Structure formats: C-alpha cells, structure tokens
Amino acid sequence: MEDYYMDEHKETSCPKLTGRIVFPGEPGYNEARLDANFFTSKKRFPDLIVYCQNTRDVQNAIKWARFHDVPIRVRSGGHNHESFSTATGVIVIDVSEMKQLHVDKSKGVATVQPGVTGQELYSKPFRTGPYPRRWDLR
C-alpha cells in the first residue's frame, strides 16, 4: 500500500508526502481514522491520514491529493458533530500537531497554528501578559 502512494520512481511528478503519515493496516490507523465524535466517524475509512508538522506538510498533502484526484478532509480537533473532517476514500490532513503559539506582547499580537486548542490559546496569552489585540492564524 505504501509503495503505491510513495513510490517516486513511478510517479515522477507526484509531490512527496511529508509529516507523520498513517495508512490503513498500520498500527494506530484505527485510532487515527476516528474523530473525537466516535459515533459519526466509526464507519468512515480514509485512504490515509497525514499529521502535518508544518505548513510545507500541508502544502505537500494538498498537492498529492490533487495529483491523485483524492478528496481532501481537513481535521483540527475532530469534534465536529457530523465528523465532516473525515470520510471514506479521502486523505485526512490533520493539523492537530501544529501547535506553535507565539505572543508578541509589545505588539499585542498572537500568532497561532491550527492545532492549538481553545484552552492552550486562551491560557497562554492570559498567563503571559495583556490580552492580544490581534490574532494571526497561520
């Protein structure tokens, strides 16, 4: 299975997937395919899940999906009631491990990656100083 997706010799112009990638049949796939909402996601089996660590991983996953004509689902917390962040036969681009959170107190600006949870988002700025005037989502 992995060769089909990752073999750069067969697919010379196919972008290489980067990040932490989980395929069906691999350890952790069953946990990775499920959203926090177990009941709506339990019958959904994505082709693969890419846990992105940075922006480049997201870009590569999108390029890969376009090249292979595979539908994309993006997942942050995976708490959506209808489990819109997963489906059967898709690539799940999971951004939950992108957790950089930078607060520039002098400018009153917080720069936040999409894996930061609500608790992480609100606790750090409040703990470290004045509430930011602006949030930059990266």
Residue 74 CB, nearest approach to ligand FAD (Å): 4
> What phi and psi values does residue 21 have, to the nearest 5 degrees?
-110, 130
**Of 123 and 128, CB closest to ligand FAD:** 123
Query: 74-105 b/e with 16+ CB inside 10 Å = b?
Result: bbbebebeebebbbeebbbbbbbebeebebee
What is the binding site for ligand FAD (CB under 6 A)?
37, 73-81, 84-85, 95, 114
Residue 92 CB, nearest approach to ligand FAD (Å): 9
**Of 29 and 84, CB closest to ligand FAD:** 84
> Which amino acid is it at 33?
R
Residue 15: other Cβ atoms inside 10 A: 17
**Of 66 and 107, CB closest to ligand FAD:** 66
Determine the residue with CB nearest ligand FAD: 77
Residue 91 CB, nearest approach to ligand FAD (Å): 12
Say if strands 48-51 and 20-22 run parallel, antiparallel, or are unpaired: antiparallel
